Chain A
Amino acid sequence: MQPSGLISDRMTDFVIRNRWIIITSCILLGIISGIIIPFSETDPEIRNYIPASMKSRIDTDTIENEFGVQDMVVILFTDSSILERENLEVIRNIDRALSRMPGITSRTSPFTVRSIKSEEGAMIAERLIKRIPEDSDETRELQQKVTGNRFAENIVFSHDMTSASITAFIDKNIPETETLRKIDSIIRCNPARMEIRTGGLPYIRKYIISDVRKDAIKLVPLALLIMLLILKITLGSWRSVIMPFSVVMISTFVSMGLLPLIGWKMSIITLLLPIIMVAVANNYGIYLTARQQEIIRSEPSLSGREVLRRLYRSLNMPILFSGLTTIAGILGLLTHSIIPARQVGILAATGVAVALFMSLMLIPSLIYQTGPGDSGISKSDNKNLLLDKLLKATSRFIIKHSGKILIISALVTIILSTGILIIRIDTNQENYFPAKHPVKMTSELINKKFGGSQTISVMLEGDILSPEVMKGIDNMTRDIEKMDGVGDVYSISLAIREMSKAIFSEDEKGYNSIPDSKEAISQMFELYYMSGEPDDFKQLINPENTKAHVLIKLSDASNANIKLIKKEISGFSGLFPATIVTGGYAIIMDDFAGEIIKGQASSLILALFTVFILLSIIFRSFKGGMTGSIPLAFSILIGFGFMGLTGIALDAATALLSSIMIGVGVDFTIQYLWCFNLNFKKGIGYIEATQTAITTIGRSIIINAMGVMAGFSVLMFSGFLSIRFFGYMVFISIGSCLIGALLIIPAFILKFRPSFVEKDFERK
């Protein structure tokens, strides 16, 4: 007896002896894991996706420690004429209610903004709206006050007077959900004719939490249902369906249950985990169940023990290797610096390991316990015949046109892969949401009319009141202001300029400029504080006057634009005596984009390398490893090329694609090469071995690929665009892996006849 046969016999005996223990422990494991899952929490904070040790996070934390968290809630009011009395009354009532709310640390609204102006020899620093206009003359007067007011126009009122905004900074010591609930309640209590929208990062986080939950509730059951249908259609009887399906359920529960058990939180990326599990965990079960049906079909009178023995003999090793390569591919995610990507890697790999173990233990236990079973073809006869016909036709086509297949495949791959050059990276959270989503609509309005909802923060440390530093800050402010994609820039130098306008007349030298002495700047502040508030500049300068903050609002928060602004800021380093620290959400996002590229490259390299090594071991040849990697390389090039050509961006979710694709796609190649080798060893030659392999294992591979694609297809119904795109991309990737395994690999082997396929894979 061959060694593998010996192992198969031992495994058969072990499973038969311990079948009840295996069945009971698997069921218990599933139940316990299922109970733990609801304890999962969601983390909507994208900055937590990257390690706290990263420079952008450290710098942002430093700036936020000094100038407060820059997370702002934006309430937008839109109407054809926002300055109408009725509208302003509602805005005032909401603003007043917000001012009395404990969750708000400070706010900027039409009723808090001040106008600094010179009038009859007086510097008047007063509220922009002291009294709501009562007639058209007063309304016109207010409009004139807003126009050109550096602190009002495009900040609290849009230039076209159709929108107004209240920007409120939230207190991190009070639960954000509570604060947002109160804000929503205030808005509800103030019904208005005008349209009122809410936005800003806290609202984006709120929608992420609710949409992740909604998605999980909607997508996971849908994926399970689709999987059940696919299994029913392909495997026939419910008895055959329930075996791989129970593996799917239990392994999904285990991987999801580990999340709260380890103390990790759900994120948009983790949303992919149950879907990966549903799509992937059935693979080994399908191979086993389909093979069991084939065995029964050929020899209906076999005993349960004999069925198990034959099953193990033919599939034990390829399933084990498929599982190991899938785990290796998925573990490629460990090199990602995106934290949830690593977590998905660990959890999915654990889930697949559980699925693999249960497929090799639980399914045989169930097969033995329920009897050898049916051939599975009674009801799906016609479908199977159709599939068989298709596979036979495919094998004939490959045998006849192997050269052409290889040339056409190479050409298509080369053409599609050009898209890689134009692939886009997108880390903007706003783009997670579809165009009609309230978050997206509000963000677009903020970007269009209020300078942008995303910010870059620059902290300057030095003697801020010295004219050299203040002029340096002013040059930086004015330079960045002129850049494309920059909505507005706020700095203390602008306040100084406004004060100078109130002190000097237009024809005087000091008008709209930074004074030349520290004393003059200090005295300007004294002058301001006679009518201003201590908090008026708390976001722009610290009380000790040693640190200043330049806040840049972005109307275009694309990664390319953020890079340009970052470069411009660093150009000021050394030009004046102050150290420059650049941070803020947009900078974190830029780092995040860099991490996505690095993570993508490293996970791809690690996954490909590990899979190559495993394939080389499995096929006992480096050539075998190389050949087995062909469909993966082909799929990777096509997948990323397709992304570039169609404009699908590489983002937090799609960054996981390559590892998942390698992990899942490699199975098909192993199964095919193993089956080909089994047949070739029978001495039937290349052509017949190809034909037999395609018509036998090809069926399982197609069912498997359909299962994976169907499982992931539910992602197309996700509320997040990024997740939807992941769903489309899995279709393309797995489709290309399938073509690679059932078209390119057979054609390659027929054409080049590599010696490794002639070896005995099962021999030690």
Chain B
Amino acid sequence: MSTLTKFSAIPYTGPAPTNRDPYVPANATQADARGEEIAAKINNPAMQQERGQDLPTFVVDKNAITDVLTALKNDTFVLPLDLFGADYPRREGGRFDVIYQLYSVQNNERVRLKVRVGEDEAIPTSTKIFKANDWFEREVFDMFGVKFDGHPNLRRILTHEMFQGHPLRKDYDPAQRWLLTEQGVAKLTPKIDPRFEDVDTDFERVTLNLGPSHPATHGTLRIVVTLDGETIIGADTEIGYLHRCFEKMSETHTYQQVIPFTDRLNYCSAIINNVGYCMTIEKMLGIEAPARAQHIRLMLSEFMRLSDHIICIGTNLVDMGALTNFWYLFQPREEILGLVESCCGARLLPTYTRVGGMAVDAPSDFLANSQRLVNMLPKFIDDVEKLIMKNRIFLDRVQGVCAISQEDALSFGFTGPCLRATGVPFDIRKASPYLGYDTYDWDVPIAEGGDTYARFLVRLEEMRQSLRILQQAIDRGLPAGPVIVDNPYVALPPKSKVYNEMESLIYHFKLIMHGIQPPVGEAYFPVEGGNGEVGFYVVSDGTKNPYRVRIRPPCFPIFEAYAQMITGQTIPDAIAGLGSLNIIAGELDH
């Protein structure tokens, strides 16, 4: 054996990534071709196609954005997925990118629009076209200071009223602290719904605060309602109490260090966030996790989805006084968290995935324990179904309560179980399969009505479908092989080599000190979270820190619709409706 083979133990033979390589998405040609078709159909001279992106991308003149959005909506792009900003301070022709992402349910495709604006310029508002854009535009204003002409209520949303500056601007110093005193707290006066304006009643109108720390709100949310007797005639919501600057913190940490932060977005199904973030970076790097890692990711994602739905159903029933279901459901949830703990050493905040695979292999009894869980879960789901689904008190409290029409749900940017409860079969695991979801036999459950009851039905059925996927995954068994890619520029070398070989030790030091350096460019990757589409939009400038990380939080647009959903309902119904939306404050406030 020559000394060379003895010491170069790492078989990676590919080139070392050179800094500032441009990122070329694998599907760039298809996206460009599709973009040309869309441009021909919309036929607006203000749309300039930007080529070489992972989605059909257009740079739109800011004055034409409402026309383009209307035309796209009238085409098939009815679901506004996201609206966010990005800051390029040294760029000529407007430092901010305001990025719109739309989805066409009919054709299963996405489109991305970019509007370039300077510091003092304003964009016409699109709140009249998509209802979701009300809060999204407020967020862009809050984070970047981009103004929207004609916005009905353009004020801060995630930071507080006494906050100075716009935190996601590149020239904002993240070490600053801003104090909120009592004088700065916003006085919310809900606008009374026109339906109830002229109603003559015997009651005095009362304005009531629910939250921000109220046991029924399941998180730090503030809901202000105006009551006429027991009927809510006007509602307003305020969020941002759990804002932890996920996006700004990502910019000051390395790609690997962001993974623990993603745990804290939707802490009820943290592994799904881990998977989504890591797969975005893997997409930029052009690598794929080994089959074994993908299998573990899929199984744990499904277990996490089960746990997420268990929390939603369990706590929602507690809000309605059905405590028994909560106890029955939380036993399997504890077992699921125990399984996660046996894999990675933490129950709620696992940080299990790494870019390129998993931190460690699953334990040898992983499949046996999974099988035990899959065997025991149906009994608990059946028990809960038998307890509530024929119970007239329960049915009277959920049927027709907090309903949202399909049109409104789409306009508000709903995804996940809440959208499927209105009858739209949109599930990313089917629409754009990842981790091999298309090789499993399972169905997307939908329901009609969009009320609390429909969301219950969809979640219960989704738990059964997750169990179907899991049973098939267990039957297939874990593929043999490593759980992380064999690429020293992405994954840490095995410790036995680090201790004994100079080359591995150098790779180890390089990776910790200089981090992963994806090629320059931007990528978006969505996964189906417990509440809907969890998407990560990452911009890389070739350095070890992400230039911009955007999380597409599914709760955000869902909670935006809440004020409209509860108007005309009573307070107990509003609480039941809030529970069925499964608002996770960590994700809502990112």
A, B assembled together: no
Query: Chain B residues in contact with chain A, CB under 8 A?
Result: none
